[in-house]
Chains A and B, each alone.
Chain A
Amino acid sequence: MAFLALRSLSKVFGDFAAVRDVDLGVEKGEFVSLLGPSGCGKTTTLQMIAGLAEPTAGTILLDGRDITNEKPNKRGLGIVFQSYALFPHMSVAENVAFGLEMRGVNRAEREARVKAMLQLVRLSEMAERYPRQLSGGQRQRVAIARALVIAPPVLLLDEPLSNLDAKLREEMQFELSRIQRSTGTTTIMVTHDQSEALSISDRVVVMEAGRMTQIDAPFHLYENPANAFISSFVGKMNRLEGQMRGGAAVIAGITLPCAPAGLSEGTAATFTIRPEKIALCAAGQGLIDGTITSRFFLGNTWLMQVETLAGSLAVSLPNQGEEPPRPGSPVALDWPASALRVEEGG
């Protein structure tokens, strides 16, 4: 039995079902991300777990106890809001101490626990400051400290990194992961950013239109997306229409090696391949010839578009210190047979 379990959870607003019949089990100490585009129901799901939204149907079990109808102030969960929601009229230390104060923890213990928590989030020097005197990253760490100091059974994070600039966001991903691992708190994070979800979660739950469509470990999710939506939402994906013939893909009359699939001869299928699994080689020496139509330098990688007879393919090459051919150059593409796959659920 999972530590936190959602059973057939639904939330209906008027005639719009924000969350439909969702089932999820989260193990103790696990870091799970709810990933999806805006309006997919991920935030509503989080709010129902927090007790801030009332489910239309279904139950929420925490450690075997039914908390579906429990008031949010009795659930004792830690929540970090997208806006951080710090108390502007209280100092950092007072913000963090608030939850302990509400639990009637005595002053001496309160101070010790606040101090330890501020140390964990590396904000010991800022204890007497007010939220308005802090940077975005510092505010967010205060919000995490405030949620964690009450030692919640579950920590809920609502788009915790979306208000930070790109560099800080990357730093905070690791910081968040470090803090979560050092406290061992079961964590559920809502995000629309696939790289965020992949990098710090133990498991990723993809949500589409109120349903959970895939629940998987990040690597497995990336390698085996369950449907067309997930394959293009999580990472980049090339998609080609063709047929299965003799255990190979036939796309626009060209036979290309692909991963085995249990499809009968001549079945139409969508084939997918990740841009980074395609290698660039000299014209005539690969599986298929083509011409480079554009190339973008991203620092650590080059993103190229190659026009072939089978269609236009995106190719991602690691930057190894040498400039790849310019647009207009004839090239060939190569890949291991296992990289080209038949799309599931398509």
Chain B
Amino acid sequence: MLKNGPVSLLFHSLVVGFVLAPLVVICLVAFTPENTLSMPKFLTPWNGFSLRWFRAIFEHPDFTASFWNSLLLATLSASIAVALSVPAALAIDRMEFPGRASLNALFLSPLIIPHLVLGVAFLRLFALIGATGSFPWLVASHVIIITPYVLRLVLAALSGFDRSIEAAALTLGAGPGTVFRRVTAPMILPGITGGWLLAFINSFDELTMSIFVTSPQTVTLPVRMYMYATESIDPMMAAVSALMIALTAIAMLVLDRAFGLDKILVGQK
């Protein structure tokens, strides 16, 4: 095990502190009893902290509806992106066919197009085909912007893959489907789960494009928060953020306990 010197220890602490500081601030502000984004008063512990803004969230059913909506949207689109990316990555990595490089570029192109541009484009497209405000089309638009992340990670998992391992399984009597299920898929699993998580987070977090393509029935949580914040700045935003941080932390903890995060994201320990 490599030991850190005092200087590098200080440097790492500062970096971690810089990353975490805003999250700590927002979590503290969430407990304020005031009507403004202010820090709770530490000197009066019991009167200084309040749960009123957390209570306020649940008095806004539109927020909880948006939360469930975002959760469903991110889960669906991340899963569809994985279902599309794995076969695409296998084809791009292993087959020689005309247009292979173009296909790769096409799949990755959403990364370089600004979400604002995509938002306007989708708005126009959905209006043309009469799909404005439809949830399936919202999912489709999210799939398009998150697929590059999954494809990249699955392609990375496939590079350096020893094909003779699959040949070995084949000669031991496994059919092509079994080879994929028992050998290929488990071996690229870190790429698949990592890609799914990254896609999920990107979809859950997406604001710029979603502003254009959501309807009042399909408003996502980031869009709801943005709309709320443009009208009034009150500590409820901080409370929603604190809840999201807590949920993410719990999800990560559960994942780690159940499967081991380093195992599903990095591969065998």
Using a CB–CB cutoff of 8 Å, the interface residues on chain A facing chain B are: 50-52, 72-79, 81-83, 85-89, 98-99, 102-103, 130, 132, 146-147, 150
Contact = CB atoms under 8 A, between A and B. Distances in A.
Given A86-B165, A87-B169, A130 B174 contact: no
A82 B164 CA distance: 9
Contacts of B28: none
A86 B187 CA distance: 12
Contacts of B171: 50-52, 72-73, 75, 77-79
Contact of B172 (A51, A82, A98): A98
A306 B164 CA distance: 48
Nearest to B163: A85
Given A98-B172, A150-B173, A81 B167 contact: yes
Contacts, number: 65
Contacts of A99: 172-173
Given A83-B162, A88-B187, A52 B167 contact: yes
Contact of A72 (B164, B170, B178, B268): B170
Nearest to B175: A73
B179 to A, nearest CB: 8
A79 B168 contact: yes
A103 B167 CA distance: 17
Nearest to A156: B171
B172 A146 contact: yes
Nearest to B162: A83
Interface of B: 162, 164-165, 167-175, 178, 182-183, 186-187, 268
A61 B168 CA distance: 22
B123 to A, nearest CB: 45
Contacts of B167: 50, 52, 72, 79, 81, 85
B157 to A, nearest CB: 12
B173 A103 contact: yes
B227 to A, nearest CB: 47
Given A87-B183, A88-B187, A81 B173 contact: no
Given A50-B171, A79-B168, 10 more contacts: A50-B167, A83-B164, A86-B165, A87-B169, A89-B268, A98-B172, A98-B182, A99-B173, A102-B173, A102-B174
A150 B170 CA distance: 13
A50 B168 CA distance: 10
Contacts of A85: 162, 164-165, 167-168
B268 A102 contact: no
A54 to B, nearest CB: 14
B173 A73 contact: yes
Nearest to A149: B172
A73 B174 contact: yes
Q: Is the interface of B mostly helix, strand, loop or mixed?
A: helix
Contacts of B170: 52, 72-73
Contacts of B187: 87-89
Contact of A88 (B175, B178, B182, B268): B268
Nearest to A81: B164
Given A87-B183, A88-B268, A102 B172 contact: yes
Nearest to B165: A85
Contacts of A78: 171
The 8 tightest CB contacts between A and B, nearest first, are A102-B173, A99-B172, A85-B168, A85-B164, A81-B164, A85-B165, A89-B186, A79-B171
A103 B172 CA distance: 9
A146 B168 CA distance: 10
A76 B186 CA distance: 24
B165 A87 contact: yes
A81 to B, nearest CB: 4
Contacts of A73: 170-175
A86 B172 CA distance: 12
Contacts of A87: 165, 168-169, 183, 187
A272 B108 CA distance: 64
A296 B268 CA distance: 48
A242 B268 CA distance: 65
Contacts of A77: 171
Contact of B168 (A51, A74, A81, A89): A81
Nearest to A52: B167
A75 B268 CA distance: 32
A57 B47 CA distance: 89
B203 to A, nearest CB: 29
29 contacts: A50-B167, A51-B171, A52-B171, A72-B167, A73-B171, A73-B172, A73-B175, A74-B173, A76-B173, A78-B171, A79-B171, A81-B167, A82-B164, A83-B164, A85-B164, A85-B165, A86-B165, A86-B168, A87-B168, A87-B183, A87-B187, A88-B187, A88-B268, A99-B172, A102-B174, A102-B178, A130-B268, A146-B168, A150-B173
Contacts of B169: 87, 98
A89 B182 CA distance: 10
Contacts of B178: 102
A89 B187 CA distance: 7
Nearest to A158: B164
A219 to B, nearest CB: 33
B6 to A, nearest CB: 35
Contacts of B268: 88-89, 130, 132
B172 to A, nearest CB: 4
A83 B165 CA distance: 9
A79 B164 CA distance: 10
